[in-house]
């Protein structure tokens, strides 16, 4: 049996120096590269770093690790772990981290002007299954605000963002319970963390990703 190459944090970091700049990459190119990875097991040892599979996929598809707002010139790449229910159905294991919540941005900008919308305006979501130290990427799903097919979900996301923003502006509070598909909650180590981020709930993954991403 062919030995799988394992990806460590060191290998991910060292490869970033030779990859192209963000401006030279488009999601269509990334999508094509991901298709060539499907149906294979990729060694990615379990660690406390939940973002490691995403970093590994970025390295495998040539996306550089930079401070740029978007992974590609025309959108963002996200991964999400899924598990297979005993019924055979795929279900999300976790939510999808969108971006950190900046209170000044939330106070100043409505949904369409926000960094949150910028990160979700055009996003390629890649589910993956884990089997021990190996992961298998599943069919990627492109969700695009410019496509009529996704008008309903972006309306719902805007409603969620507006509810979060209204609560912050009128009550000066932020609650994780607010929002049907988009929520905000604490991010960081320990229960005392005060940093917050936007997340796409599991219900979003179930309805808009897994329904169109067969194993």
Q: Does the residue 122 lie in any domain? A: yes
Interval 147-183: pLDDT, tens: 999 999 999 999 999 999 999 999 999 999 999 999 9
Q: Does the residue 143 lie in any domain? A: yes
Q: Closest by alpha carbon to 188, among 113, 97, 107?
A: 97
Q: Does the residue 90 lie in any domain? A: yes
Question: What is the rounded CA–CA span in Å between residue 56 and residue 38?
Answer: 14
For residue 90, what are the domain limits?
A: 9-208
Q: Does the residue 118 lie in any domain? A: yes
Q: Does the residue 111 lie in any domain? A: yes
Whichever domain contains 88, its CATH number is 3.40.600.10
pTM score, whole prediction:
0.88
Interval 2-59: pLDDT, tens: 445 576 655 555 544 444 554 578 999 999 999 999 999 999 999 888 889 999 999 9
Q: Does the residue 3 lie in any domain? A: no
Q: Does the residue 1 lie in any domain? A: no
Q: Report the domain count for the chain.
A: 1
């Amino acid at each position: 049996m062919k030995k799988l190459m394992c990806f460590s944090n060191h290998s991910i970091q060292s490869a970033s120096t030779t990859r192209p700049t963000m401006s030279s990459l488009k999601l269509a190119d990334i999508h094509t590269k991901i298709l060539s990875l499907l149906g294979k097991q990729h060694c990615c040892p379990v660690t406390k770093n939940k973002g490691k599979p995403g970093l590994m996929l970025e390295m495998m598809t040539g996306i550089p690790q930079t401070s740029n707002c978007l992974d590609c010139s025309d959108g963002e790449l996200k991964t999400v772990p899924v598990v297979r229910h005993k019924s055979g159905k795929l279900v999300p294991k976790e939510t999808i981290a969108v971006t950190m919540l900046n209170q000044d941005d939330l106070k100043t900008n409505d949904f369409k002007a926000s960094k949150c919308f910028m990160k979700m305006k055009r996003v390629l979501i890649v589910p993956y299954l884990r089997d021990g130290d190996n992961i298998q990427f599943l069919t990627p799903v492109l969700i695009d605000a410019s496509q009529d097919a996704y008008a309903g979900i972006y309306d719902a996301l805007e409603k969620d963002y507006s509810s979060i923003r209204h609560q912050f502006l009128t009550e000066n509070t932020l609650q994780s319970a607010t929002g049907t598909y988009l929520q905000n909650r604490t991010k960081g180590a320990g229960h005392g963390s005060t940093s917050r981020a936007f997340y796409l709930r599991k219900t979003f993954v179930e309805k808009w990703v897994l329904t169109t991403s067969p194993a």
